[in-house]
Amino acid sequence: MEWEDKIFMKAYKKRIFFFTFILFGIALFFFYLKYVPLVSPFQIILIPILIIIFVLSAVRLKIGILLFVFAFPLINALPYFFSIYEQTPHAPTALVLFLFFFWGWLLNNAINENSAHYDKKILKPIVLFSILVVISALLTSWKYTNFFPVMDNNIYELITNVKGVSAGGAIMSSIFFSLNYLTGFAFLIILTSTGGFDRFYIKKILIILLISTSIALALGFYQHLVNIEFGNTPFRIKQSLINASFKDPLSLGGYLGAFIPFVFALGIAFKGFLRFFSLILFACSFFLILHSGSKSGFISAVISLVLFIITIMIFNFPLKKATRIKTLKLKFITSSILIFAFLFILGFLAFQNRDIIKNSKGYKRINQFVSIYKKGGLTKALGIRWTNRWYLAGRMAQEYPLTGVGMGAFIIELPNYERKYNIRKRPTDSAENYFFHVLSELGIIGLIISLWIFFEIFKLVFRRLKDPEIDDKWKIIQIGIACGIFSIFLQYFVHTYIGSYEIKYTFWLLVGLMIIIGRREKGGEKEIKFSKKYKLIGTLVLLIFTSIHLWNSTHSLSLARRTREFGIKQDFGFYQLEKTADGHEFRWTRGYGGTTIKVEKPVIEIPLLASHPDIQQKPVKVKIYIVKNFFKEKKLLDEIILNRSIWNEYQYHIPEEVGEEIILLFKVNRTWIPLKVHGTPDPRKLGVAVGKIRFRDFQKERLPTI
């Protein structure tokens, strides 16, 4: 009966994958509509790429992996060719690419019987950290909805901080930051769990990566030598920084910082054209990393390259034949000569024409950092990282030590903490330190599990490098991969790359390659079994984290508490201020609109207008509510039916609210879009227009309407 159980389990897993494929597809559809700019020229290029990677991942997974490895370093600057940077923040293209790749992988597993390989030692902390991220993101997002549907049956664009970020923006932050972690883990699992890998296929991955990077570097040289505006943003153009095909110059520098030791190892390990090609890319990468302006990328590249040489010198290769020893020594001598020759040529060019180096942004930034360091020390040289981002991340962790402020909430809470501690406001997308960022958002619990992941990665590296069964060529490649991993690890001390998905995929690609290069088992593991101890401790940790974070989210971190503590004026669901022909001010609502007002006198006067083209046939219904104590008390003031497109003024006697701050909430039963109805360039969804709200005494005559 054992074979019957196996058949049942395979069929059961396929059904789970198919069910997940359907749910993920529905979620991806709404994600795409919400966060991917629906600009026609952009979509004409993007959609075929997404369809191809989905189909290939579903039908031929290995080819899908090759396509993803080829595309993710190249696709990030695509929105810049269509001026999408001017629009509302949107999903990075590399993330969208991965989501379709992952969707295809789900379908592939629902159709085929795939043998899977897993590295349990790394998988343990990854699974725990992933669940932690999901829990934190769900609770944090729920907080930004003001605990829908418990507090209210609608989700409003409430203001979440003193900078005026809406609930939608805060939820987007939680979603994107979560996906930064989760999609990286998922990529590692896909890469390492796909059965049937051999050295020939791994070599294909390496060659594909070389080709992809060469195209990115070509774009970088074109920007540097011909047209810096090509595939770049106005902000970076003003700074004279190149981004090649990456999200920004820092992402280019971060990628090259890991690529340089890796490609140099390939130059030593490969023969013939591939060796020549790899070494050319090595030299080009060093040149472009200086013009990316990334100090950390350049420094980490140099350190990891030195580490590469030292590792080859001192590492105890378990070689059995004298000929192999001679070969290894020859390769080491060759590599050393090539490195010193490259440095000599670079130094000679710099001496002959110092502008080659001195005019690069990288040189200027490093020189500036050194100058400040000499005058004021390390803390002065670190600047706003030390005085603003790291300091306030530490403050968040100090106030919420176990759970942090929530997934994606660092940049939302940062303006609040800047005001609280009277620190100059500086825009940022992260804490500019991976470990401080994790600590601020997920607390000590998240940081410990994160460090556990890195600990297992470094253990893996040492295990693979000590493996006596790996020949010299692949051993050298492994050392290059290990140095690339170490390079990104170094950069994590001054960057998080929380918005640069291409860097996260690069990191986990290198980790995945380290795993599969040293793999020798032919069959896959039937199932993943974790020990009872792991399950018990993991469950306990997750329960503690969930209960504490839920308490914090409903109390000191809740929108109600933040609104009171920082004096935030809730004003949501309205478009910008406009004026009538005779100078009266008004604002359009969406399907709803809420504004905080202080009731000055017992009578409130509210001017309203609805301009729906079919208003006479289909009257517009408007409900007006008085909201107190941040939705703990909500009272219907009136329900109005509008059947004519004229201004009307409505008066209400509310003496019990005099002297109090309330939220006046408008709910409209339907909206209309001028762009669709009249063809005018106005894509807004309009509800009703609300004029300037006035107050008067009960005894006085009615004020004129607008």
Cβ(628)–Cβ(662) under 8 Å? yes
Domain match, 482 and 598 both? no
Domain that holds residue 93: 1-114
What pLDDT digit, counting tens, does each position of 94-127 carry?
A: 999 999 999 999 999 888 876 666 677 899 999 9
Tell me the one-letter amino acid at 399: E
Burial class of residue 632 in the structure, from the number of CB atoms within 10 Å of its CB (0-12 exposed, 13-18 middle, 19+ buried): exposed
Please indicate, yes or no, whether residues 480 and 578 belong to a single structural domain of this protein.
no
Q: What is the pLDDT of residue 275?
A: 86
Q: Cα–chain-centroid distance for residue 670?
A: 35
Confidence (pLDDT) at 703 = 46
Residues of the chain with pLDDT under 70: 1-10, 85-88, 114-118, 195-197, 315-365, 368-370, 372-374, 378, 381, 520-528, 699-706
Classify residue 106: in a domain, yes or no: yes
Provide the token pair at 345: 């040529």
The verdict on 580 and 475 lying in the same domain is no
How far is the C-alpha of 183 from the C-alpha of 341, rounded, in Å?
Answer: 40
Within this chain, do residues 232 and 317 fall inside the same structural domain, yes or no?
A: yes
Q: Are residues 483 and 575 both part of a single domain?
A: no
Instruction: Using the 3D structure, point to which of 114, 146, 174 is the last residue of a domain.
Output: 114
Domain end (from 67, 87, 114): 114
* Token pair for 586: 């008004």
Asked, for residue 29, whether it belongs to a domain, the answer is yes
- The pTM of this model reads 0.90
- Residue 633, domain member (yes or no): yes
**Residue 118: enclosing H or E segment and its boundaries?**
none
Q: Is residue 557 part of a domain?
A: no
Q: Is residue 54 part of a domain?
A: yes
Q: Are 688 and 608 in contact (CB under 8 A)?
A: yes
Within this chain, do residues 484 and 357 fall inside the same structural domain, yes or no? yes
- Give the number of domains in the chain: 3
Ordered DSSP codes for 273-295? HHHHHHHHHHHHHHHHHHHHT-H
Q: Looking at 99-225, which runs of residues are DSSP E strands? A: none
Residue 706 DSSP label: -
**pLDDT number for residue 474:** 87
In 10 A of CB 300, how many CB atoms?
31
Strand (E) or helix (H) holding 690: strand 689-691
**Do both 98 and 240 map to the same domain?**
no
Boundary residue ending a domain (450, 479, 497): 497
Residues 6+ apart with CB under 8 A from 170: 141, 144, 160, 161, 408, 409, 412
Say which CATH number the domain at 617 has. 2.60.120.200
